[in-house]
């Protein structure tokens, strides 16, 4: 758990007794009933009681798991991007559709689309 200092109260030692200070601490604890609190009481050199409330932040196990899953997902995404070829990344949706049509035509016609047949005869106009 991580400690975070949130509240400090100052009480003059001449005006307030120990019982009054303890009562104010109990009242403050009631205000923050759902939080885990550590309290430090110190008398400083000027005769002032310094009451410091440290609120602990609970480490949630699910947050740690979620962070690890995010890291794995990012790592897998980077690996998948590296596996793709440069052609597939640069192609637009229209170019991919044209590529699919070209492949279908080559499959059924047996000819390579966009390449002349070799007749081995030359016929001038």
pTM, two decimals, is 0.45
Q: Using only the alpha carbons of the chain, give its radius of gyration.
A: 38
Residue 86 scores a pLDDT above 60:
no
Task: Tell me the pLDDT tens digit for each residue of 26-42.
Answer: 988 888 888 888 889 99
Q: Give the pair of three-digit tokens for residue 33.
A: 């009933």
Taking residues 63-92, what's their average pLDDT? Answer: 67
Within 13 A of 32's CA, how many CA atoms are on the CB side?
17
């Amino acid at each position: 758990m991580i400690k975070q200092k949130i509240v400090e109260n100052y009480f003059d030692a001449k005006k307030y007794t120990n019982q009054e200070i303890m009562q104010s601490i109990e009242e403050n604890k009631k205000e923050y009933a759902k939080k885990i609190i550590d309290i430090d009481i110190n008398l400083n050199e000027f005769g002032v009681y310094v009451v410091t409330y440290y609120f602990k932040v609970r480490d949630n196990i699910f947050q740690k798991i979620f962070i690890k899953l995010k890291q794995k997902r990012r790592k897998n995404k980077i690996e998948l991007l590296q596996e793709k070829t440069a052609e597939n990344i640069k192609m637009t949706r229209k170019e991919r559709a044209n590529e699919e049509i070209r492949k279908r035509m080559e499959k059924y016609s047996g000819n390579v689309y966009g390449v002349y047949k070799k007749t081995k005869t030359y016929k001038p106009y």
